[in-house]
Structure 1
Amino acid sequence: MDLRQLRHFITVAETLHFGRAAERLGMTQPPLSQSIMALERELGAVLFLRSKRVVSLTAFGRQWLDHVRPAVENIAALSDIAEQLKKGRAGRLALSFVSTADYSVLPKLVERYSSAFPEVELDLMEATSDVQVEALLDGKIHAGIVIAARSALPPTLEYRPLLTEPLVAAVPELWVESGQLDLTDGALEADQWMAKPLIIFPARVAPHFHELVVGFYRSKGYHPFIQQEAIQMQTIISLVSAGLGIALVPASLQHLARTGVRYIPIAGNVPVLETGLVWRKADDTPTLSTFIEIAAALNGEEQSAFMR
């Protein structure tokens, strides 16, 4: 049994006439009749009832046709599917992201990619930067949105910046209302808040972000009093809401509105945080290539938005 025989069977079943079926198939009638008879011998069942004037499907032939037709259509589609896979228009893309990206580049990036390539299955997973790097090295994901120093990444990984943004202070609303913080100029001066409890990412899971914040304290002559550590930004903001301390967060996190939390600019030279896309240099997955192209185009737009 081969694809040619199955197509012969479908055509005869549709025309119920060997002559017209042969004409449609671009062949003569005798080879078509031989092909059908060979198929019937292989199946051990009769497909057509033949007389001098009438050709009709047997009960078995009618039922088998319902299975053969979609099977042949699926086989015919394989060539197109292969083409779509080669061009990255179909397939799968596994993407991880840090929690901060959920309030900056991730929504627009996913929306744009899914709109351009709706046939691609997109698997999303939130994870800290260290977990993402390990997953990339193990081949478990195709790309990750991370907060990491480019120089600290393994040499087998490629990196592209997506967004650079200033840090702002997330402070308990109660501190502002009670006058613990002076917002006369609309921004926080170092001597107003650097001695207060700090909530921060642990160094082991976000070393670059942790050092960025701690280094900023040192540059102002302060040693941070770390009250609490948390690995998700949503948790950090919840702890700020509970009045446990202050946190330095990316400016885009102001999209995360939380009762009891006020986002306030920091006066002076403010540290900036870079979020980037990382992937394996050796990964030639077509869906990854198209994703990188869209991410590169979006990068310039996001930076322009922060400059305005």
Structure 2
Amino acid sequence: MNLELRQLRYFIAVAEELHVGRAAQRLHMTQPPLSQAIQGLEAMLGADLFIRQKRGITLSAAGHALLPEARRLIKDSLALPELVRCAALGEVGHISLAFVSTADYNLLPPLLRDFRSRYPQVQISLREATSDVQLEALRLGQIDLGLMIPPIPEKLADMLNYQAILSEPLILAAPSDSTWLSNKLQVSLLECQGQPLIIFPRAIAPAFYDSILGCFQSVGITPEIGQEAIQMQTIIGLVSAGMGIALVPQSVSNLKRPGVVYRELEQITPLIETGLAWRRDNHSPVLHAFIELTRKNK
């Protein structure tokens, strides 16, 4: 069946006018081709759409059933150019974004708020995941974007693009009842000597892990690893429980947890970077609209 929108327009005109002559005038055509088009439509559908009597025509049961659907199809067809335009500009569609837990305290909320306000018709799927899990999901094409802590492994360097968004220093998170904790706004890592360290496993975020241990090594301390956890909320929860201390990105201080205090460090710490990674072969307009927004907000 090769049903054409033109045939539906003809049918709607006749159905609304209930007069082939008036419908022909409305359509700026002569009556014979309009009658032929209606008869062709009925033959195609296998049912009479009109009851033809000497005193005029009325809609048949089949015609009554077709009329609202024909109007809907015509209305939808008129919306197609705008739909296509919006899709080409990334204003409609879907995007899947994975993010590390640290991004929940700095980048993610304002990014999502800004993107939703600019592109309200785009559906966003969110997934919290560590950087290593995100990299594998990107490799497999399971997500569009990863908000992660670099680096990008060499084996994926030709597959992925990466854009840095935020760099921030490390600060100390410690139990608030620590007797050794200074009341100063800044403390030295030397004051932390002997305190168990709570940290991410190295396999999950090697650069992050090495940066933290490097801070201690720079002052001649080899910390005792007390606990490992993959979620920032868990790390801060363990600090709150008095299980040890942690070095965390500065924005994590936005996570207010009873029993935890945050202090700046006297030592200069390496900056922890967070950025976006995506596949080079992903040409989704929605994806590039999101990336462009992050560039404007930097």
TM-score normalised by length of structure 2: 0.94
* 1:205 aligned residue: 204
Query: Number of aligned pairs?
Result: 295
* 1:78 aligned residue: 80
**Whole-Å separation in 2 of the counterparts to 1:37 and 1:226:** 83
* 1:180 aligned residue: 180
Unaligned residue ranges in structure 1 (runs of 5+)? 300-308
* 2:161 aligned residue: 158
**Whole-Å separation in 2 of the counterparts to 1:133 and 1:11:** 57
Which piece of structure 1 moves more, 143-152 or 272-281? Answer: 143-152
The 3-state SS of whatever aligns with 1:174 is coil
Correspondent of 2:151 among 149, 152, 161: 149
In the TM superposition, what is the alpha-carbon distance from 1:270 to its structure 2 partner? 2.4
Unaligned residue ranges in structure 2 (runs of 5+)? none
Which piece of structure 1 moves more, 51-60 or 110-119? Answer: 51-60
In the TM superposition, what is the alpha-carbon distance from 1:243 to its structure 2 partner? 0.3
Question: Which amino acid letter does the alignment assign opposite residue 232 of structure 1?
Answer: Q
Question: Which amino acid letter does the alignment assign opposite residue 156 of structure 1?
Answer: M
Q: Pairwise mapping of residues 54-65 of structure 1 onto structure 2 (< 5 A)?
A: 54-65=56-67
In the TM superposition, what is the alpha-carbon distance from 1:139 to its structure 2 partner? 1.0
Question: Which amino acid letter does the alignment assign opposite residue 97 of structure 1?
Answer: F
Q: Give CA-to-partner distance per residue, 1:233-284, whole Å, 9 cap, x none.
A: 0010110010000011111111111111111111131232111111112211
**Whole-Å separation in 1 of the counterparts to 2:91 and 2:291:** 13
* 1:306 aligned residue: none
Q: Pairwise mapping of residues 6-85 of structure 1 onto structure 2 (< 5 A)?
A: 6-85=8-87
Contact 1:171/1:247 (<8 A) preserved: yes
**Whole-Å separation in 1 of the counterparts to 2:89 and 2:69:** 31
Q: CA RMSD in A?
A: 1.6
Q: Give CA-to-partner distance per residue, 1:204-234, whole Å, 9 cap, x none.
A: 0111110110111111111111100000000
**Whole-Å separation in 1 of the counterparts to 2:212 and 2:63:** 74
In the TM superposition, what is the alpha-carbon distance from 1:162 to its structure 2 partner? 0.8
Contact 1:195/1:222 (<8 A) preserved: no
In the TM superposition, what is the alpha-carbon distance from 1:52 to its structure 2 partner? 5.0
**Whole-Å separation in 2 of the counterparts to 1:168 and 1:208:** 16
Contact 2:190/2:221 (<8 A) preserved: no
Which piece of structure 1 moves more, 269-278 or 203-212? Answer: 269-278
Contact 2:99/2:127 (<8 A) preserved: yes
**Whole-Å separation in 2 of the counterparts to 1:241 and 1:104:** 21
In the TM superposition, what is the alpha-carbon distance from 1:159 to its structure 2 partner? 1.0
Which piece of structure 1 moves more, 233-242 or 134-143? Answer: 134-143
Q: Which has the higher helix share?
A: 1
Contact 2:93/2:286 (<8 A) preserved: yes
Which piece of structure 1 moves more, 105-114 or 154-163? Answer: 154-163
Which piece of structure 1 moves more, 116-125 or 38-47? Answer: 38-47
Which piece of structure 1 moves more, 39-48 or 195-204? Answer: 39-48
Question: Which amino acid letter does the alignment assign opposite residue 133 of structure 1?
Answer: L
% identical aligned pairs: 47
**Whole-Å separation in 1 of the counterparts to 2:160 and 2:44:** 54
The 3-state SS of whatever aligns with 2:169 is strand
In the TM superposition, what is the alpha-carbon distance from 1:38 to its structure 2 partner? 1.1
**Whole-Å separation in 1 of the counterparts to 2:253 and 2:25:** 70
